[in-house]
Amino acid sequence: MTATVHYEDKIAVLTLGDNENRFSPDWIDRVNAQLDTIEQEAQGLITVGSGKFYSNGLDLEWLMANGDRGEWYVGRVQELFARILTFPLPTVAAVNGHAFGAGAMLAIAHDFRIMRADRGYYCFPEVDIDIPFTPGMAALIQAKLGPQAAVTAMTTGHRFSGQDALAAGLVDATATEVELVADAATKLTPILGKNPATLAAIKNTMYAAVTTALR
């Protein structure tokens, strides 16, 4: 299953898929198409995975088979990060399971993050798989984490449980699997209805250096 959307009142819940939700080019196309509609129809955005995974990030199998398109592919991934980072609606990542690499970056690009308390890891494994962060990826993570938390996350490959992630500032709260999306909606409800153009302008100013590095 690819990315799908349902609505809970004025909040769009974008389900990233029902597998590892890796960022294939087709998956990115589908997510962007859903975001186009959400921008017009919703007042808030929640993203969530299904089962064990929020997202395992880059589609390394596709990348290995299409090495000559690597720069194009990474550019498309980073453009998605920039889009979520500056999205004109309030956003929450409901991290239902494993969020690794680019999947963890997608989550951190949201305004807020709520992670399942009892299962799943939040991890930037780049140091262990010999894939250095691009300047844009590093800028994104460092814009959202305190300096020491960024050192731990980026240089050790540490797998953060829900409670670890909360203590490090990777997420804003934890919840049970059953309550995850409901708690994300509760987080958004008081801040719905902001002017999208104003909100987008504020985010673009806040993260100007990050989006420049990503794009």
Superfamily of domain 4-214: 2-enoyl-CoA Hydratase; Chain A, domain 1 (3.90.226.10)
- pLDDT score recorded for residue 51: 87
Question: What's the Cα-to-Cα distance from 5 to each of 144, 146, 152, rounded to whole Å?
Answer: 26, 33, 34
In the chain, which residues have pLDDT < 50? Answer: none
- pLDDT score recorded for residue 108: 97
Closest C-alpha to 142, from 94, 213, 203, 74: 213
Name the amino acid, one letter, at 206.
Answer: M
* Contact partners, residue 60, CB within 8 Å, separation at least 6: 22
- pLDDT score recorded for residue 204: 97
Domain limits, the chain: 4-214
CA-only gyration radius of the chain, Å: 16
In terms of Cβ atoms closer than 10 Å to its own Cβ (0-12, 13-18, 19+), residue 161 is middle
- The two tokens of residue 64 are 């290995």
- pLDDT score recorded for residue 67: 84
- pLDDT score recorded for residue 1: 61
pTM over the 0.85 mark: yes
